[in-house]
Amino acid sequence: MNQSVIEGHSQSEEINKIPTLSIAPHWQMLEAILKPIAYYRRCFTHNSGVIRVKMSPTLPPQQVLISDPSVIKDLINEDGGRCISAPGQLNGLLSQVVGQHSIILLAPAIHRQRRKLLTPPFHGERLKAYGQLISALAEQTLKDLKDGDAFDARERMQGITMRVILTAVFGLYEGETFRRIEHSLASSISIRSGPFGSLLLFFPFLRKNLGPWSPGGRIKAADATIRRLLLAEIASRRRAVAQCNEENMPADILSLLLSCRDEHGQGLNDDELHDELLTLLFAGHETTATALTWALYWIHRNPLVLERSMDELNGLADRSDPEAIAKLPYLSAVVNEVLRIHPVAMLTFPRRIEAPITLGGYSFHSGDVVMACIQAVHERSDLYPNPRTFDPDRFMNRTYGPHEFLAFGGGSRRCIGAALALYEMKLILSKLLLNNQFKLTLSSDRTNKPRRRGFTLGPSIPVRLKIVSRRP
């Protein structure tokens, strides 16, 4: 372990004082909510990549944003050590969506245990098992349309990713129960994702239930329906799992959670199970659907990118092999560039400084709450020349470290579904491009800037594609 980092600094290391953003806290908060990208660009316009801010009323006042990769590297390396922790309580704002018992809000020790349990279904052979399902869903998604028809890309992508995560969580995605879960989740996301919906997330008084037609009333009704459906499925599956042994235990995540026990032989209660399922369902499809929408937008805004993507896909010996598709270098570069130029999340989960520490030449104090600004890191011209230009070749020519490419966060709180998201994106894009020739509609074929969608970012203009023809 680097003692110069832990205990202070080496004799030759210059210590820099962290500058402070000189804007009133209430203006910072409003700009961060309403114009987040403009706010983060403002933060790093005149400093070297570390700045003290007061942008969140729900976090302690000692807030620090980072865009300097060297500082982020030290932060990740020391994550979970004596001086840096990742307490789930700092993510409390998310509890209104995923509940108090979500893995996102767990204390570090319990978080590590739960993460160890939930990681395997999203990796290795379990991940590969989803390949044919993802490909089949992508094949089916436009079957109801004919040549000349246009469709909303995000709506169709959300339909695919929802069914994939329902399969991972429950083992299947068909039937009345799952249609109702899908509808209720979509309703809850829609309410929270509009311009006013974003304010609901940050100002509790706006969430007050003023009747069934008020935003607060609609959110309460949608969330109550989701809870009722999930608890009913938990009760049904709990009875089924009780009749299973290790050999015939279903492979879905709910069955896995129901079968797990702590060192005292205790399993998860209904509230804990509900919140974990809700976290997986929300995080496991909405973000990937947004990224796929951006991918279709950029591919069809750049004829050369589309041409090179098609050349690579057409060169496959077996177009139906998910593993071969997932390994395609240019398709992988396109996906990475989409996630770079439009990261769905703007910040990593916060870390708390537990003891004075020097990171990347900057001195941090006990109590500092530190977040890497993903958007700002991905726009650094020293890492990504011409950062606002969509250029997949940058990922063909260089490998970026975990402190430089942060699409899925980093350290102990990195997204457990990262591998599934990348796998999904490549398979879905490949099927759509191989089977169809698209063009952006006139309303979509223009500059599309990100806007806040609840806690995440998405296109400000609906991305609509027209089916020009079906490919043989």
d(CA 182, CA 179): 5
pLDDT in the model for residue 13: 54
Residue 178 pLDDT grade (very low, low, confident, very high; cuts 50, 70, 90): confident
**Cα angle at 101 between 98 and 104, to 5 degrees?**
65
Strand-pairing partners, residue 239, are none
Proportion of the chain above pLDDT 90, given as a percent:
64
Neighbours of 464 (CB within 10 A): 19
Evaluate if residue 300 carries a pLDDT over 60.
yes
pLDDT in the model for residue 195: 63
Handedness of CA 218, 221, 223, 226 (dihedral sign): negative
Asked whether 49 and 81 are in contact (CB, 8 A), the reply is no
3-state SS class at 146: coil
Strand-pairing partners, residue 364, are 357
pLDDT in the model for residue 393: 98
Q: What residue type is assigned to position 304 of the chain?
A: L
From residue 360, how far is each of 10, 50, 325, 395, 409 by CA, in Å?
A: 12, 10, 39, 25, 19
pLDDT of 222-279, one tens digit each? 899 999 999 999 999 998 888 887 777 787 889 888 888 777 778 889 999 999 999 9
Mean pLDDT (the chain) is 90
User: Which one is predicted more confidently, 178 or 424?
Assistant: 424
pLDDT of 201-226, one tens digit each? 787 787 888 887 787 888 888 899 99
d(CA 385, CA 253): 41
Output DSSP code: residue 440.
E
pLDDT of 322-372, one tens digit each? 999 999 999 999 999 999 999 999 999 999 999 999 999 999 999 999 999
Most confidently predicted of 76-80, 90-94, 338-342: 338-342
Per-residue pLDDT, averaged over 158-186, amounts to 86
Helix spans in 141-249 (H): 153-170, 176-193, 195-202, 215-242
Residue length of the chain: 472
Handedness of CA 241, 246, 247, 253 (dihedral sign): positive
Asked whether 312 and 328 are in contact (CB, 8 A), the reply is yes
pLDDT of 385-405, one tens digit each? 999 999 999 999 899 999 999
Overall number of domains in the chain: 1
pLDDT in the model for residue 12: 46
Evaluate if residue 187 carries a pLDDT over 70.
yes
Per-residue pLDDT, averaged over 56-84, amounts to 94
d(CA 372, CA 364): 14
Evaluate if residue 447 carries a pLDDT over 80.
yes
Per-residue pLDDT, averaged over 413-426, amounts to 95
pLDDT of 2-45, one tens digit each? 443 434 444 445 678 899 999 999 999 999 988 999 999 999 98
d(CA 126, CA 216): 39
The CA-to-CA distance between both ends of the chain, in Å, stands at 58
Q: What is the pairing mode between strands 84-85 and 351-353? A: antiparallel
Q: What is the pairing mode between strands 357-359 and 436-440? A: unpaired
pLDDT in the model for residue 14: 66
**Cα angle at 22 between 5 and 346, to 5 degrees?**
65
Q: What is the pairing mode between strands 63-66 and 369-372? A: parallel
| Residue-range definition of the domain harbouring residue 378 | 3-470
From residue 122, how far is each of 221, 253, 313 by CA, in Å?
A: 31, 10, 25
Neighbours of 394 (CB within 10 A): 19
3-state helix, strand, coil in the chain (%, to 5): 55, 10, 35
Handedness of CA 93, 30, 49, 416 (dihedral sign): positive
Dmax (CA) for the chain in angstroms is 70
- Chain centroid, CA 11 distance in Å: 41
Q: What residue type is assigned to position 470 of the chain?
A: R
| CATH number for the domain that contains residue 371 | 1.10.630.10
Structure-block tokens of residue 467? 């089916």
Q: Strand 150-152: give its sheet, edge to edge.
A: 150-152, 464-470, 436-440
User: Which one is predicted more confidently, 153 or 262?
Assistant: 153
Residue 446 pLDDT grade (very low, low, confident, very high; cuts 50, 70, 90): confident
Structure-block tokens of residue 179? 């249609």
Evaluate if residue 198 carries a pLDDT over 80.
no
Asked whether 121 and 420 are in contact (CB, 8 A), the reply is no
d(CA 59, CA 57): 6
Q: What is the pairing mode between strands 464-470 and 436-440? A: antiparallel
